[in-house]
Amino acid sequence: MSTIDQARLIDLFNLMADAIEREKDHLCELDGAIGDADHGVTMSIGFSAVRKALSEVNAAHPTDVFNTAAKAFLNAVGASAGPLYATAFMRAGAKVKGQTVLDRTAVADMVTAMADGVRSRGKADLGDKTMLDAWDPAAKAALQALEADRSAAEILSQAADAAEKGATTTIDMMAKKGRSARLGPRSVGHIDPGAASTAILLRAMADGFTAE
């Protein structure tokens, strides 16, 4: 499969939900080191709501799927993750509006739109030790893969690789935004939980897409 239609996109969201459920405790542990230990719970609540909403929605286009997921996630969790991921999904939906299937260009657009959503909602800078440190390299990798004539699957998998690498770089960063910022130097040595969940989601999408 080289494109994503609305049904396939729902499958990918369900795979993301599965991945979050598997990594829930791990994300809580990461958050416990520099935050309030609830990121795994928050993500799990959010993706359970996404799964439920998508099982009930009558989606005609990928944009409907993104908007449904955004609204469900936002209203289930609030917190920081809610506005950030919801804005990411909404921007992706807006970017691919009118398309019934997402081809390789649209897949790259989707990743960059999500990264832009996180950047504008969170107002963090690169290096602040936030999920942007995973999203930004993911978007750059997706664009590079697109320009190198890679397939949609390769675009997603290279974005996931870059997100994982980006998440790892947050270990050495000192937090400047969000709840961990108050720790100052004590935040160094721990991965940012939001960057970690970003990498998990992109990896789940990439794996799900490739497995098809």
Partner 1 sequence: MKTKKLINDPAAIIDEMLDGMLAAHPQHLMQVPDSPRSIIARDGPRDGKVGLVIGGGSGHEPTFVGFVGRGLADAAAIGNVFASPPPDPILECAKAVDGGAGVLFMYGNYAGDVMNFDMAAEMAAMDDIEVRTVLSTDDVASAPPDRRVDRRVDRRGVAGNFFIFKAAGAACDKMLDFDACERIARKANDHTYTMGVALSPCSLPHTRKPNFDLGPDEMEIGLGIHGEPGVERGPIQSADAVADALMDRILSEMQPSKGDTVAVLVNSLGSTPMMELYLLNRRVKQRLDDIRVGLHATWVGGYCTSMEMAGASISLHHLDGELIEMLDHPCDCAQFRVG
- In the chain, what is the straight-line distance between the N-terminal and C-terminal CA atoms, in Å? 6
| Residues facing 101 on adjacent strands | 5
- The answer to the question of residue 170 lying near partner 1 (CB under 8 A) is no
Closer to partner 1 by Cβ: residue 41 or 101: 41
Name beta bridge partners: 5.
101
Q: Which residue among 28, 131, 155, 200 contacts partner 1 (CB under 8 A)? A: 28
Closest CB to partner 1 among residues 121, 140: 121
Radius of gyration of the chain (CA): 16
Q: What is the DSSP letter of 126?
A: T
Kindly state whether residue 196 participates in binding partner 1, applying the rule CB under 8 A.
no
Q: Helix, strand, or coil here: 138?
A: helix
Applying CB under 8 A, among 26, 169, 176, 207 the residue interacting with partner 1 is 176
Cα 101–chain centre separation: 20
Among the residue ranges 14-22, 33-41, 99-107, 197-205, the one whose residues contact partner 1 (CB under 8 A): 33-41
Q: How far is CA 8 from CA 3, 32, 60, 65, 103, in A?
A: 9, 35, 12, 10, 12
Interface with partner 1, residue 195, by CB under 8 A: no
Q: Which C-beta is closer to partner 1: that of 62 or that of 83?
A: 83
Distances 31 to 3, 28, 64, 91 between C-alpha atoms, Å: 35, 5, 32, 26
What mask of x and - would describe binding to partner 1 in positions 78 to 117, judged by CB under 8 A? xxxxxxx---------------------------------
Per CB under 8 A, residues contacting partner 1 are: 25, 28, 32, 34-38, 41-42, 45, 74-84, 121-122, 176-184, 186
